Chains A and B, each alone.
Chain A
Amino acid sequence: MLWLTCPNCGRRPVEEFVFGGEVRAESDPILEPDEQDIDLVWMFDNPDGLTTERWFHVAGCGRWTTIRRDTSIDVEVS
């Protein structure tokens, strides 16, 4: 099971958090403004490997935090 480190509360089980989505990697710039909007709203990097994400510690301190995770094995990395 996944454990995440909250800067305020320490290492806590994933059930205490709400997933807030990936922070997108820099990708090839999309030039057309409409295409840019569509991509921003709907599309995901969905990487198999290292990713950066936002998580909300709802059953803890009630603050947002940024976490690095390896999605291939589902563990937090520093």
Chain B
Amino acid sequence: MSVPVDSLPPIRWPDRPRSSYDVVIVGGGGHGLSTAYYLATRHQLTNVAVLEADYIVSGNTGRNTTIIRANYGLPEAIRFYQHSLEMYRDLEQEIGAAILHQTRGIVWTAHTETAMRTERARCLVNTACGARTVMISPAELKDVVPQIDLAGGGRYPVLGASHHLDGATARHDRVAWGYAAGASQRGVDILQHTPVTGLVHAGDRVAGVQTPGGPIAAGVVLSAVGGRVTALAAHAGVRLPIRTHPLHAFVTNNYAQELGSIVASTELVCYVSQTERGQMLIGAEFDAQPSYSRQSSFSALRAYAYKMTKLLPFLRELRILRSWAGICDISTDFSPIMGETGVDGFLVTTGWGTWGFKAIPAGGEAMAELIATGRAPALIEPFRLDRFARDHLVADHGSAGTR
């Protein structure tokens, strides 16, 4: 069933898995596939399988709004995401596939004095940690985005904005397919329609996975299953500070003019970008209640559209073409959880929530290094699972709000 996608090198689809691998990665989303790619390219580990329950990129990676940014609020997060943002710039060269990467900048509007203080602080800590973010006045904002209503429809007047100059977007499916093809060409087995239904135990350690086709032995099992991580980790006896919440998004018909920047507001919790085809892509806050339902809802559309049309009135003239939802692994402190779990042979990359697309290159690179060398690189040390037990949270809710 190989379907050619533009000029991407074809992916090898093995008929069945081998009985044993050095590394089994569960979940064929961006994080699972990039980890496989870096295992093969940086560490020459190719006796590796990626097992995907459905088809690859069918999870959040294929449903996200593709915003890449590093304007977080804490040094640990800024450094990690800035590294990933820089990896994205060179990704076409690295994987040899067009990913339609575009640096457009992101403006985060502030509508109260409190939000102005938050955005000023963001600019300072971003600058100190190597991300380019500056405060701009309403007049300067109007130069960047002429379509904006500075009165916010009378409801949300704009007092200023932080301008993250390196904010970008890229085609989500091409990123993931590029990693998949690169890994596959080097010998990694990618198996679709292969759900992992349990784990194989050997004493205290995890030594493989159970599938409907039988067990597969593994030196290391990495969970990269997005919103379904709680159930998989439970098979290893690992409990996680994760709740699964749906996030919705929608896209309009073509807008003939250019939107000069990605526009978002952490205060209103909504954001909009323009796709390479000219459509307007809009998302907002995740559902208050946890759920595994990917049904998109009218109430979410209404709430998102209300806020965005206040800031960008031209959106009223457009029509909603499609809407969808993904189920996101939201961690308690709104930061990722990467690395060891306390159970030998079982690692996780999770807590990617509504913000993990931008992290696919750096997350995969770091997890591959940890698997290959047994040591977590310094960049991801702050994101260990045991930070909760040690009371060393990376609490950055305010920066996660707009993806």
Interface residue ranges, A against B (CB under 8 Å): 1-2, 13-15, 17-19, 22, 34, 38-39, 41-48, 53, 69, 71-74
Contact = CB atoms under 8 A, between A and B. Distances in A.
Contacts of B287: 74
Contacts of A2: 289
Contact of B297 (A1, A34, A44, A46): A1
B93 interface: no
18 contacts: A14-B289, A15-B299, A18-B288, A19-B288, A38-B389, A39-B239, A41-B388, A42-B241, A42-B332, A43-B240, A44-B239, A45-B230, A69-B291, A72-B291, A73-B291, A73-B295, A74-B293, A74-B295
B320 interface: no
Contacts of A72: 291-293
Nearest to A73: B293
Contacts of B389: 34, 38, 42
Interface string B228-243: 1011000000011111
Given A15-B299, A44-B230, A48-B231, A74 B332 contact: no
B243 A46 contact: yes
Contacts of B298: 1
Chain B interface size band reads 20 to 34
B328 to A, nearest CB: 12
A48 B292 CA distance: 6
A17 B288 CA distance: 9
Contacts of B332: 42
A48 B388 contact: no
A36 to B, nearest CB: 11
A43 B386 CA distance: 12
Contacts of A41: 388
Given A1-B299, A46-B230, A71 B240 contact: no
Contacts of A43: 239-241
Given A15-B299, A39-B239, A46 B289 contact: no
A44 B242 contact: yes
A44 B238 CA distance: 11
Interface in B292-309: 292-293, 295, 297-299
Contacts of A22: 290
Given A13-B299, A45-B230, A72-B291, 10 more contacts: A42-B389, A43-B239, A43-B240, A44-B239, A44-B243, A46-B243, A48-B244, A53-B289, A69-B289, A69-B291
A46 B292 CA distance: 10
B26 to A, nearest CB: 16
B240 A38 contact: no
The 10 lowest CB-CB distance pairs between A and B, nearest first, are A74-B293, A43-B239, A74-B291, A46-B230, A42-B241, A1-B299, A42-B388, A71-B291, A48-B292, A19-B288
Contacts of B241: 42-44
